[in-house]
Amino acid sequence: MEKLNGKKILVAGATGGIGQALVKLLKQSGAEVFVTGRNQEKLGQLASAAGIPSSHQFAADVCRSAEITQLMEAVLSHMGAPEILVNAAGIGIIKPIDGLSEEDFMNSIHTNLLGTFLLVKAVLPSMKEAKKGLIINIPGVLGKVPMAGAAAYSASKYGIVGMMQSIREELKRTEIRITNLFLGGVDSPFWDTIDLKVQKEKMIREEEAARSIWFLCQQPASGVVSEMVLQPFNHQAI
Ligand SMILES: NC(=O)c1ccc[n+]([C@@H]2O[C@H](COP(=O)([O-])OP(=O)(O)OC[C@H]3O[C@@H](n4cnc5c(N)ncnc54)[C@H](OP(=O)(O)O)[C@@H]3O)[C@@H](O)[C@H]2O)c1
């Protein structure tokens, strides 16, 4: 296992359910963590709970390239080049096609797919210079297996998989590793705005989902976990 002590890790979506739990685990393991999310207030609360200095937090909207450029400038000047990017930013819009507006569709694509593109594009130059790094995205199982009502969400998440597969081909001669994490339902605020009957008590706990990312961050650099699937116990079949 790779030691996390002193490892420079950028966590996007740090203010979310999975992101917050992950940041706490990474800090407990001695990593140097830089956090970003959209909501400045939540970011400040997380940072003070996890012991992250104000130099290591920056609010940014992943859909806005200018904000991602500023984020990266802050990361490079206060932490230095990230060795790991964990992208846990994302939104879930789950509606049948009849009720799915163009705005819903574009919001999904902007946040989940364009946001991933901008973050990955921002960290790649310094990783390429170091010739190594690890990028972890969370397409979720709806980036692997479609579900009724998930046209926009799955389009954005399948898009991440295709995009990262293509980037992986470009990075063959480097030691930059790419991991896609396919999570099933996780009991987090993600579901709060989704009008769907779900059994939250049967979902994966935020801390367990975070632990799987924490585990991925420690994989030896001689190999790559190109994908991991973590499903709630009663939904094992994919
Ligand atoms: N929960 C699940 O069942 C599940 C299953 C599979 C995959 N996933 C994926 O796992 C990731 C994390 O999910 P979660 O459960 O932790 O969700 P969550 O609790 O809703 O957190 C979402 C995070 O994304 C951030 N975010 C949303 N839009 C953003 C934007 N435009 N710019 C910057 N940040 C933005 C939020 O920031 P603010 O709070 O600051 O707005 C928050 O930090 C997402 O990509 C999600 O698709 C979740």
Query: Domains (ranges, CATH) in the chain?
Result: 9-235 (3.40.50.720)
Closest Cα to atom 46 of ligand 1: 90
Report, in angstroms and rounded to the nearest whole number, the Rg of the chain calculated over CA atoms: 17
- The Cβ-side half-sphere exposure at 224, using a 13 Å CA radius, reads 18
Give the Cα separation of 69 and 40 in Å (integer).
17
Distance CA 116, CA 177 (A): 15
Centroid of ligand 1 to alpha carbon of 222 (angstroms): 30
8 A C-beta contact, residue 72 and residue 110? no
With H, G, I as helix, E, B as strand and everything else as coil, classify residue 107. Answer: helix
**Residue 121 CB-density burial (10 A; 0-12 exposed, 13-18 middle, 19+ buried):** middle
- CA nearest neighbour of 177 among 210, 139, 142, 130: 130
Q: What's phi and psi for 95, nearest 5 deg?
A: -150, 145
Measured in residues, the chain has a length of 238
The ligand 1 site (C-beta within 6 Å) comprises: 13, 15-19, 37-39, 42, 61-63, 88-92, 111, 115, 138, 140, 183, 185-186, 188-190
From atom 47 of ligand 1, which residue's Cα is the shortest distance away? 90
pLDDT of residue 2: 87
Q: Please report the DSSP string for 1-54 in residue order.
A: ----TT-EEEEETTTSHHHHHHHHHHHHTT-EEEEEES-HHHHHHHHHHHT--G
Residue nearest to atom 44 of ligand 1 (CA): 90
d(CA 134, CA 82): 9
CA distance 176 to 127: 7
**Contact at 8 Å (CB) between 171 and 178?**
yes
Instruction: Identify the DSSP state of 174.
Output: S
Per the DSSP assignment, residues forming a β-bridge with 13 are: none
Q: How many other β-carbons are positioned within 10 Å of the β-carbon of residue 148?
A: 8
Give the per-residue pLDDT at 26. Answer: 98
What is the residue-level pLDDT of the chain in tens, covering all 238 positions?
A: 889 999 999 999 999 999 999 999 999 999 999 999 999 999 999 999 999 999 999 999 999 999 999 999 999 999 999 999 999 999 999 999 999 999 999 999 999 999 999 999 999 999 999 999 999 999 999 999 999 999 999 999 999 999 999 999 999 989 999 999 999 999 999 999 998 888 899 999 999 999 999 999 999 999 999 999 999 987 655 5
